[in-house]
Amino acid sequence: MQHEDWLNELKERGREIYLLEHTAALLGWDQETCLPEKAVEERSEQLALLEGLAHEKLAHPRVTELLEKLGATLETPKGTVPLTDVDAGYVRHFFRRHRREVCFPEDLVREFARRTSIAQSVWARARKSNDFALFAPELKKIVALIKERARLLKVGTHPYDALIDTYEPGMTKAELDRIFIPLKKELTALVAQIKTRPQPQTDFFNAEYPLEDQRKLGNLILARLGYPQDRGRLDVSAHPFTTTLGADDVRITTRYGEPNPFNSFFSTVHEAGHGLYELGFGDAVRGNLLADGTSLGIHESQSRSWENLIARSRPFWHGFYGEVQKLFPGILGEVPEETFYQAINRVSPSFIRVDADEVTYSLHVILRYELETALMEGTLEVEDLPRVWDDKMEQFLGIRPDKLSLGVLQDVHWSAGLFGYFPTYALGNLYGAQLFRAARRDLPGLMDDVEAGRFAPFLDWLRRSIHQYGSTYTAGELLQSITGEPLNPGYFTSYLKEKYQDIYGGESFGG
């Protein structure tokens, strides 16, 4: 059959792109973990070369021709020839990636790269000096370029549709509104109620936890979660991340040395969640372009399920706390399990998104989403961002930052041209809660296993239900087939209410 030859040729070309990208990932990993300071410049050149080669292969005229022969268009991204689910998913995935490489004229690509590179360094200076006026002209240029890119992508009906679709295929602004509007209402009410309750004791986090024992704790939990030592590594970097260098080489990083070793602990569990996803791709997608997370939201659901739904749960600590006490007997020896459990789940409105707890986190995201959509619609000017940011912070969390580094200048994303990215962080929480509910339906003994330190049944469930498929199915398709319904934020909010009612006591959390 001729279409099989076309598909095979596409797969051969895709394999080269896959290999190039993992080679670049190795250089990137090296840069973040051990590259000598003076070698940064040439490393950027090396990375730019590999990126250029991958672009050429993705945008190659023969790829355009093969995708056309297979019938892939915006309306029929899976093609129009008879294919298996995995092959149709492959065509759709390749078509999406190809299209992103060819739909922007080259001068726009160059201008975008130049502007974001300048804006990132200006943003870093502006953040240091709390000077928004310094950053505003750069941000304006980026917003204009983003609008132009959205127009050229021709996805959906609202300019934001093209932006969110880049990171969360198939997601739209209308769908985000359907989810975020009620979620915001529920979360702001919950935060306001929690604020009136007495706060858990957390003073024991301020003690000196020996670095060596922090390391032991990180390695212990990785081994316990089943992170395979012969298919990955744990290293140290300034900002924790996960990177895939091959089908059997997925590396994660953490950072130690903060006074509270549990920041490092939860960050290690979080990255392990990302890593286990990348290590779980099945044979049908192994080694090709489909061996990739299907969306940033699903990726984040994996990390957050392990971090929050498992490792911040009461059963987890009921089983694990004794070992941690033995590791830090001088500090935690006299701290009761319940006190510790409440401390790691403390809810406290704060300015910085990356430090936010499980309840307030999604509100930080919705704030950014509202600003991004208003910028795209032209109902908000860049100059007004600081004031509107602070007003929203006050409405959502009841706090007002007194400097811009704690407000609108805190994140690197906008200077890097990442618009439409933030919502995926909150989607991760929502997908995670909905999928976890399905996991508990299928595995009635799940929380008993967690308490006993047996994580294999849950990991196997994730592999079977999600990991094995890579990008074959979109987030929406996965959610529908696993849980029987589209995204429903009610699972996340009812999880939060139940958990924090139990921790904070008092009158029940209504709404």
Q: Binding string, 284-323, against Mg ion, x = CB under 5 A?
A: -------------------x--------------------
Q: Nearer Cβ to Mg ion, position 298 or 367? A: 298
Say if residues 17 and 51 touch (Cβ distance below 8 Å).
Answer: no
Identify which of 344, 338, 351, 446 has the alpha carbon closest to the alpha carbon of residue 389. 351
Smallest distance, Mg ion to C-beta of residue 501, A: 27
Q: Nearer Cβ to Mg ion, position 303 or 415? A: 303
Residue 429 binds to Mg ion (criterion: CB under 5 A): no
Residues noted as catalytic: 271
Report 449-468 residues binding Mg ion (CB under 5 A).
none
Q: Nearer Cβ to Mg ion, position 297 or 349? A: 297
Give the contacts of 128 (CB within 8 A, at least 6 positions apart): 405
In one-letter notation, the amino acid at residue 234 is L
Q: Is the dihedral of CA 472, 478, 480, 484 positive or negative?
A: positive
Q: Nearer Cβ to Mg ion, position 115 or 299? A: 299
Q: Nearer Cβ to Mg ion, position 303 or 345? A: 303
Counting every residue written for the chain, the total comes to: 511
Smallest distance, Mg ion to C-beta of residue 300, A: 5
Helix (H) or strand (E) holding 21: helix 2-33
Smallest distance, Mg ion to C-beta of residue 298, A: 11
Q: State the number of binding residues for Mg ion (CB under 5 A).
A: 1
Give the contacts of 283 (CB within 8 A, at least 6 positions apart): none
CA angle 435, 436, 442 (to 5 degrees): 95
Q: In the chain, what is the straight-line distance between the N-terminal and C-terminal CA atoms, in Å?
A: 59
Smallest distance, Mg ion to C-beta of residue 254, A: 12
Nearest residue to Mg ion on Cβ basis: 303
Report 404-423 residues binding Mg ion (CB under 5 A).
none
Smallest distance, Mg ion to C-beta of residue 286, A: 23
Say if residues 28 and 40 touch (Cβ distance below 8 Å).
Answer: no
Residue with tokens 């089943």: 226
In one-letter notation, the amino acid at residue 24 is A
Smallest distance, Mg ion to C-beta of residue 252, A: 11
Taking 3-state DSSP, the helix, strand and coil percentages for the chain, each rounded to the nearest 5, stand at 65, 5, 30
Smallest distance, Mg ion to C-beta of residue 278, A: 12
Q: Nearer Cβ to Mg ion, position 92 or 251? A: 251
Structure tokens at 31: 């840069």
Structure tokens at 163: 């932006």
Q: Nearer Cβ to Mg ion, position 261 or 273? A: 273
Q: Is the dihedral of CA 119, 125, 128, 130 positive or negative?
A: negative
Identify which of 20, 14, 10 has the alpha carbon closest to the alpha carbon of residue 288. 14
Dist. CA 368–CA 327, nearest whole Å: 40
Other beta carbons less than 10 A from residue 254's beta carbon: 24
CA angle 71, 75, 80 (to 5 degrees): 30
SS3 243: strand
Q: Binding string, 244-283, against Mg ion, x = CB under 5 A?
A: ----------------------------------------
Dist. CA 99–CA 414, nearest whole Å: 23
Q: Nearer Cβ to Mg ion, position 214 or 303? A: 303
Smallest distance, Mg ion to C-beta of residue 354, A: 10
Residues at the site binding Mg ion, with contacts judged by CB under 5 A: 303
